Structure 1
Amino acid sequence: MAKAAVSKSEVSEASALQGSVPKVNETPPWWLTLPDDFYCQSDGTELDAEYPFKVYGSAFLDVMLRTSLASMLSASMLPRMLSGRHVEEEKAHLEFYAELAELRDAERVFVEPPDNVDVVGHSPKRREFSPGGGIPSLYLSFRSPFEPLNPEVADDYLSHRRNRTARALYWTHPSGPRPTLIFVHGVVEHWYALNARYFSLRQFYDRGYDVLMVTLPFHGQRGDRRSPFSGYGLFASGFAHLNESMLHAISDLRVWMNYLYARGAPSVGISGLSLGGYLSALLAVVEPRLAFCIPNSPLVAPVDTMRAWQPTRRIMEISARRIGADPLALRRGMAVHSPLSYQPQLDPDRVMIIGGAGDRFTPPRYVRLLHAHWPQSHLHWFPGNHMFHIGQADYLRLMQEFMDRCCQ
């Protein structure tokens, strides 16, 4: 199962020689080709007829749960959206990121972090989650070297001091470093215990993989102490902070990769749910060192996703009117961190996309959109929704077999 670590230069050279996939800059940008009504188009998969009760029943439940999350996000966005003093700066910020998105130059947007970041760790304390069963675990952290891309928001963004410390929980094997799975949680859902159990990460550990569960910006201990919920800071300070948070997450993930490879991991891959799936796919456009990428129910087009939810649709409409931006301008202003905006670095045979037929947080049409961006990548549907993964045992087995093959 071991796979020799490959340097960035070696992988970049190999990727340049492939030449089999058209360059992104040779095609129109996705935000121009995606229909304006994409957010409300109908969905369907081959599982609908086979498991109608599971698919449509879980879809109905998803809409109810989605409304609860949308209400939380809307409450965090509303104060800034209604503040007149932020209108002009929001418009200028969107244009800053839109111009960068137009270039579709991943190296310019995703600045490579230094190799010498000091990562420190400690064993689980009494109130911290421990997997038990004799699994050696470390709570890791480092001072994030990330600097915001937009100098106009740098001071404000970096003023959130707790957010500047990246955190993760690392499960290791006593015999030494193994192929490693980086797992990235979804929005709000930062708890290590929840993700470990919900995604059966112990199975991957028992199969021989080390596991690193990361904490995303503004979540958990990275959030401000007075934040009403985990992830609040992603949405409370406007589009610029949201954009920079995505870039920040990718920078931190690259530091974690550097740490794992420096420690001796023979290979490193990534998977995550929803926002974690989005960031997994995004990392694969800047990190050719990945052995595999498995986005699960990935967010793909954030503006369109939020337009499909209520009450966030209304908030987006208010915001667009106040800053003089239509949905296309909002798409363009947030495309700087979309995996659809850049050429994938991984061979599509190393990408496995998972989607729920009844998912109404990130419906099947978004999963297909990402799949189309990686022609010949693997695609697996399960008959559940975003929160209840009916048939999860099947895709966990497929994930394990897929990872074994990619890490040989």
Structure 2
Amino acid sequence: MALRNSFIDVSSYNPDTKEFFQAAKNQGALGAVVKLTEGSEDGSAYVNPRAAAQIRNALAVGLKVSCYHFARYTSIADAQNEARFFVKIAKQFGMYDDTLMIDDAEVHSVTDYQSTSLAFLQEVEALGYKNTGIYSMKSFFTGGILNSHGFGSREIWVAGYGVTSLGIDNATAWQTTDHGIMGIDTSLDFDGAFTTGATAGTVPQINVPAPQPVQHVGHPATGTYIVQPGDTLSGIAEKYGTTYQNLAAINSIGDPNHINVGQVLKVTGQPTSENTYFVQAGDTLSGIAIKFGTTVSDLVSRNHITNPNVIYVGQKLYLAGRGQSNAYTVKSGDTLSNIANIFHTTWQALAQKNGIANPNVIYVGQTIQI
């Protein structure tokens, strides 16, 4: 993994101008993965309205362009339908047959997600696009939902934020942050597939079959979360081991940068236990490192900090190990006064620090800064 080229991924939430992609290139991006589609032609039939301009302008400034499809399949037949839709739109946009085509598999909607995802990629390949890969969260690969070695030589693109290692030995790309270059999703390319070489070839001529009749069934959300002051969709996604794109999709959120305090979101999975520290007034990175028996370099690497002299009050830092240091995750039966007693403080102090208007109302899964 000597290569560590940066690339971005974009969807309808992001700009489509030549100036945007030139600025991204100036900040170090060598490639762009553009969302084309979501779901199937007989289902959501979603096509990114900015895809054509994003592809055109990314190519115009010299970026390597790949494409991705946001998967919603609930069976192998459904996955094949979605693959056909993806290919159909790629051909309409004139994408050559050596374009890297990515399955964005982050909605665990079928028991055997491995076989279903593989069926999607195989159908894309059968229809003329031989260069394929899969994208998903680190937790899907390490938690047994997906087996990275079960995809053969295909690209393995993994989202893993706040960690120094993916723990996935055949990962070929690592999405390290959702606020990197140009403030958006940014990844590292380890083998050059996303960032090197000019896309060439011809548009596949294989006819795309009509969708098969399928029943759309899947796992519903496993719970809900009520948005708190200071929450972001990406922060909530981190808590539940998913991505903001998935939360936006299952909650029909058009703009992931706009959620409202008190909004009830459908979520999947359970809150993760993480070792974090919220920066306090007067903190320095070196002081935090000493306090928790770590090093400045580890904190910088783990949190993708560009300037170790610049941290902010309230900033969430990931630490090595597990268990929270100056934060508490609300459990069933908790009250603010009980939490205050545990940490030898007052409920008034906790309410003020966390922007809690009604101290009698806290929620399971809510993070309380101590």
Q: Give the TM-score of the pair, scaled to structure 2.
A: 0.28
Q: Which has the higher contact order (CA 8 A, sep 6+)?
A: 1
Bigger strand fraction: 2
Higher helix residue share: 1
**TM-score, length-scaled by structure 1:** 0.26
Please say which structure displays the higher CA radius of gyration: 2
